[in-house]
Amino acid sequence: MKFSANLGFLWTELSLPDAIRAAKSCGFDAVECHWPYDTAPQDVSAALRETGLQMLGLNTARGDVAGGDNGLSAIPGREAEARAAIDQSIAYARAINTPNIHVMAGFAAGPQAHATFVDNLTYACTQAALLGITILIEPLNHFDAPGYFLTTTEQAMQVIADVGLPNIKLMFDCYHVQRMEGNLCDKIKDLLPSIGHIQFAAVPGRGAPDQGEINYPYLFKAIADLGYEAPLGAEYKPMGATEPTLGWMTKKT
């Protein structure tokens, strides 16, 4: 099993290029991030070339964070902002050779929000396809992100079906899915053809995967047995320095 360090949570005290180098030194096979836009893409590319790691994914900008935004693409009336964020993410992904972009829905509800999300995702997929980039959508649990538009895998699969384009996939975050739905092994098996990336963290605390209620060694083996070979994303909050939390990596399958 291969693992990707999510640098939105790991090594946050370092610059993004130095966090990439730290991930390499600790044995990660790839990296991913949240919002890299304050870092010059040439600096990120240099660190990726130096380490031989790939940046697997990044997120679209959240919008006005101080005003409460957590994504824009499902919010009716803000299509221009949402598409500007999509364009920004595609340009950055192209500059650093990133194959996946997570388009964030934001806080919204109802049929109009669904239609807006589908329209913006159709735009994102069409633009991303020109560069061979996959668009990801991720359900977030309503305990951590109350009011977020996308909350379950069932809802996500309906969105994917309504977009109907080949380069939209599900970001399956084990932490969020466990908190909302449970039954992780069967869900991953059933949804595998539509999964573009898998992330993980302990439940309920969102710490390292060697704590909490999920038996991650068992789950990692089950995923490997399904033939899934891409790196799994370690998107957990280390509650301090990152290196002391990495003991779980010695249990790679």
The catalytic residues are 138, 235
210: Cα separation from own chain's centroid: 21
Residue whose tokens read 């932490």: 175
Ramachandran area for residue 23 (φ above 0: left; ψ -120 to 50: alpha; else beta): alpha
What's the sign of the alpha-carbon dihedral 156, 147, 63, 22? negative
Residue 102 — φ and ψ, nearest 5°? Answer: -90, 115
The residues near 176 (Cβ < 8 Å, ≥ 6 apart) are: 138, 139, 140, 141, 144
Classify burial at 7, counting beta carbons within 10 Å of its beta carbon; exposed 0-12, middle 13-18, buried 19 or more.
Answer: buried
